[in-house]
Each structure stands twice: as structure tokens, then as C-alpha cells.
Amino acid sequence: MTFESYCSPPEAPVFYPTCDEFADPLEYVEKIRPIASRAGLCKIIPPKEWQPPFCVNVDEFRFTPRIQRINELEAGTRTKIKFYERLTKLFESQGNKLKIPTVEKESLDLAKLHK
């Protein structure tokens, strides 16, 4: 395909439901599904008065962030991270700190050894 023959897809449909239509958002989504599925996606702009039933109190909400390296995104690495988290908790529950042994100046992969 060349640039000259490229034809951009049509824009996704945008819906502006009323408060009555959006009283049950999932029901509304089912109602518009035939139109939205033809495009593959859609945008729903809820009424200004609509308040979602789940709201986070930003003044009280807390979470612990963690650094996630790109190489940790694959499933095997996540499994390994979970293994180390469980192992660390086990050691802490016994009043000890997990110390990773080294062999020839390299950290021993306990998850691999366990597997």
C-alpha cells in the first residue's frame, strides 16, 4: 500500500446520552452496541450531571508505587517477582531478612533454583 492509496478509516461515533438514558450505563452500552461495534470503538460523553457510583476520595486515597522495568513486563518475570515477594514475606514472618546468596559474585536466582 502506498501513501497515495491510503484511505483513513471513518471517525468513531460519539454518543451524548441524556441523564435518563444513562441512568444504567451498562444498559446504555448494550443499546448502542450495534452502532459502536461496526466502528470497532466509540466515545461516550456522559451528561454533566452524571456522577459515577464509584468515586475515589483523592485526599484519603493512598497507594504504594513501584518501579517497573520494561524487562519485568513478561509473564515469567512477573512470576519470579511474585515468588520473591512471597519468599520475603515468609522470612519476615519468621523475624528474618531475606539475603540472596552470591556465587562467583553473581546473585543466585532462587526462583530458578526453586523451579
Read off the pLDDT of each residue in 85-91 and give the average, rounded to a whole number: 93
Q: What's the burial of 20, exposed, middle or buried (CB within 10 Å: 0-12/13-18/19+)?
A: exposed
> Domain residues of the chain, as ranges?
9-52, 69-114
pLDDT digits 0-9 by tens, 21-73: 999 999 999 999 999 988 888 999 999 998 877 777 778 888 888 777 766 66
> DSSP string spanning the chain?
--GGG--PPPPPPEE---TTTTSSHHHHHHHHHHHHHHHT--EE---TT---S----TTT---------GGG-SHHHHHHHHHHHHHHHHHHHTT------EETTEE--HHHHH-
Which pTM was predicted? 0.42
Domain 69-114 has CATH 1.10.150.60: yes
Give backbone dihedrals phi and psi of 31, rounded to 5 degrees, phi first.
-65, -40
User: How much is the pLDDT for 31?
Assistant: 95
User: How much is the pLDDT for 14?
Assistant: 95
User: Which residue shows C-alpha cell 468513531?
Assistant: 12
Assigned C-alpha cell, 60: 484519603
